[in-house]
Amino acid sequence: MVGPPMTNTILTLLSAELIKQYTATGHWRDDTIYALVRAHARRAPDMPALRDRFRRVGYAALIAAADSLAADLKGHGVKPGARVAVWLPSRIESVVALLACSRNGYVCTPSLHRDHTAGQVVALLRRTHATAFIGQAGYGADAGRHDIFAEIGTVESLKHVYQLEADGSFPSCPALGRASASLPREQDVDARDIGERSDAVLRTAVRGHDDAVKTDPNQVVYLAFTSGTTGVPKGVMHSDNTLLANARAIAADWRIDADSVVYSLSPLSHNLGFGAMVMALAAGAELVIHDLPKGASLIDRLIETGASFLFGVPTHAIDLLRELRERDLDAIGRLTGFRISGAAAPREVVAELLAHGVVPQSGYGMTETCSHQYTLPDDDPKLIIESCGKACPGYEIKIWRTDDPDTEVPVGEVGQIGGRGASLMLGYFDDQAATEAAFNAHGWFMTGDLGWVDQNGYLRITGRAKDVIVRGGHNIYPARIEELAMRHPAVERVAAVPVADARLGEKVCLAVMRRAGARIAPDEMLAHLDALGLSPYDMPEFVLDIDHIPLTASGKILKRDLVERIAKGLASPVPVRWKAGPAAGGR
């Protein structure tokens, strides 16, 4: 007997046993992301799905646009399992691309960020053997010197290229209407607009439209690249089901539904923003795309759009609270929840958000695992400040010895975080060795992060396994130092990094980026750390006062850059020594 043609030809960790296990628990289901959105469109076609500064798109119009793009991709010879690369700022077309891929069985590759160069993108296109490319003219870190559309002609696997213009100037996605900078408000777009416009960018003509919609939610649909702060980024593979398992859990726990308006400050190309998008689509909510011009009021936009749940990083929260104080406001419209990721939120930020009626969601996750760990709306503020919450339904974590990842440690002891569950990746693209190396002997994915869990399952992060600073054989965890330093009112951003030492191997340098107009002397910082309980054995021995600490596109601190600047003599840390009292001990 001849079975159906194989469409998922990528080597993954998927197995019949895994499908049976997570289907039985209800964490994996029969719906693809496209199927869920199509169901929303049939139930309530005019219900808002997406919104940017120029357009507001209903679910029926969104599905029609995805169908049009899917048909055009197929017409250009893109086959199921092929990679469709997306290099765009946060815009509606990014969502259309994902849905078209989910519909036809393509693999969407949207984690090409603004800080990528044209050369890096070309390399990733070659590496993934991309068949189609959707990009925006003039976008990217070196757009002024290199035109990506002039350079991708050397990528032999490409069958078709879509060149979009910047929003507000030309028709960007004709199927969704014409973007116009002169519009005072968003224009509503309905399904009748589909097919009424056409150009060379995204054709709306449905040529031989195929009703054979993908029905297997376990095929790879999302290929994301890790941030690559420590080396060559790895390609992380997810299916509709692995993405939806986490999206459904967060939506249920935080009561996000069709009446919700989700606003992502994180770019849709980043895993946090991408997760916000999938969650909003799964819940039938409206997703607001963050495309404000520089200097525009975020609070005004949140109020105008009726945003009820926000995604971002601590820097976003700090900026939001600053505007609240400047305008002496008590609340932010309908906003009641804020997922803060990328780093721990400072204690005073959590307290101030709560005072304004916004409950922060502290969490932990990674591209490989999705946002599986988070606090709940009714959690004690102390847990929101000090922990990353509990594992969501369908996922579990254990802590393993740092020197033996196959041995579990007792509750309360620091070790490497391991996880498994319905939202775990299906492996690394075209890298079987890396996939195998990522798991311990018991089949748990080893994150490379260090932490401990309490009796109730709440996780505390203490640092990256590779970030541990070893001073004369003593392990020092940067995350602990950074968390305490961030509590000082003069501090905007900090990073604890190693400085080479001939005798001890490494010493701790604390890089401090101060708030505007604030001052803090090195000795004052050490006294602050001591007052909050930092061990004298973990005290920084260098302090670097720096104007700017760089971040990745995902909001994480680029520690590697700081270490390299110090090593090359481009930054000069000041030596300091904590003079501990008799009871405290010392070095």
Identity of the residue numbered 184: P
Among residues of the chain, what percentage have pLDDT more than 90? Answer: 70
pLDDT of residue 456: 97
Based on the fold, state whether residues 435 and 520 are members of the same structural domain. no
CA gap 541, 470 in Å, rounded: 13
Q: pTM for the whole thing? A: 0.81
- 548 φ, ψ (degrees, to nearest 5): -145, 130
Q: Under a CB-based contact definition with an 8 Å cutoff, are residues 469 and 496 in contact?
A: yes
Residue 583 within a domain: no
CATH number for the domain including 490?
3.30.300.30
What lies within 8 Å, CB to CB, of 218 at 6+ separation is 8, 14, 19, 28, 239, 240, 241
CA gap 247, 277 in Å, rounded: 9
Residue 167 within a domain: yes
Q: Under a CB-based contact definition with an 8 Å cutoff, are residues 336 and 309 in contact?
A: yes
Out of 6-20, 67-81, 341-355, least confident range: 6-20
SS3 of 541, please?
A: coil
CA gap 461, 479 in Å, rounded: 7
Residue 175 within a domain: yes
CB atoms near residue 414 (< 10 Å)? 19
Based on the fold, state whether residues 568 and 422 are members of the same structural domain. no
For the stretch 347-395, pLDDT in tens is 889 999 999 999 999 999 999 999 999 999 999 999 999 999 999 999 9
Q: Under a CB-based contact definition with an 8 Å cutoff, are residues 442 and 472 in contact?
A: no
CA gap 143, 326 in Å, rounded: 36
Based on the fold, state whether residues 446 and 524 are members of the same structural domain. no
Please choose, from the candidates 519, 525, 532, the residue with its C-alpha nearest in 3D space to the C-alpha of residue 578. Answer: 525
In DSSP terms, 415 is beta-bridged to 451
Based on the fold, state whether residues 445 and 510 are members of the same structural domain. no
Based on the fold, state whether residues 359 and 508 are members of the same structural domain. no
Beta pairing, strands 187-189 & 107-109 = unpaired
Q: Is the dihedral of CA 112, 116, 117, 122 positive or negative?
A: negative
Among residues of the chain, what percentage have pLDDT more than 70? Answer: 88
pLDDT of residue 363: 94
Which of 398, 430, 453 is at the close of a domain? 453
For the stretch 213-264, pLDDT in tens is 999 999 999 999 985 444 578 999 999 999 999 999 999 999 999 999 999 9
For the stretch 106-126, pLDDT in tens is 999 998 888 788 888 999 999
Based on the fold, state whether residues 358 and 497 are members of the same structural domain. no
When the pLDDT of each residue in the chain is averaged and rounded to a whole number, the result is: 87
Which of 453, 488, 516 is at the close of a domain? 453
Q: How many domains, in total, are found in the chain? A: 2
For the stretch 283-338, pLDDT in tens is 999 999 999 998 999 999 999 999 999 999 887 898 899 999 999 999 999 999 99
Residue 228 within a domain: yes
Residue 24 within a domain: yes
CA gap 456, 500 in Å, rounded: 39
Residue 6 within a domain: no
Based on the fold, state whether residues 532 and 420 are members of the same structural domain. no
Based on the fold, state whether residues 413 and 493 are members of the same structural domain. no
Which of 453, 477, 499 is at the close of a domain? 453
CATH number for the domain including 146?
3.40.50.12780
pLDDT of residue 115: 75
Based on the fold, state whether residues 64 and 211 are members of the same structural domain. yes
- Position with higher pLDDT, 546 vs 202: 546
Q: Is the pLDDT of residue 207 over 70?
A: no
Residue 462 within a domain: no
**Which ranges constitute the DSSP H helices of 170-239?**
none
What's the CA angle centered on 329, arms 359 and 261, to 5 degrees? 45
Rounded to a whole number of angstroms, the CA Rg of the chain reads: 24
Based on the fold, state whether residues 443 and 477 are members of the same structural domain. no
Based on the fold, state whether residues 445 and 483 are members of the same structural domain. no
CA dihedral 336, 337, 340, 344 (to 10 degrees): 80
What lies within 8 Å, CB to CB, of 307 at 6+ separation is 261, 262, 263, 288, 301, 332, 333, 334, 335
Q: At what angle do helices 240-253 and 271-283 cross, to 10 degrees?
A: 70
**Rounded to whole angstroms, what are the CA distances from 248 to 4, 20, 103, 241?**
30, 19, 19, 10
* Structural domain boundaries, residue 514: 468-575
Based on the fold, state whether residues 220 and 189 are members of the same structural domain. yes
CB atoms near residue 255 (< 10 Å)? 14
Sheet holding 286-289, edge to edge: 187-189, 55-58, 48-51, 286-289, 261-264, 309-312, 337-340, 359-366, 370-374, 390-391
Residue 581 within a domain: no
What lies within 8 Å, CB to CB, of 160 at 6+ separation is 72, 73, 76, 77, 78, 131, 132, 133
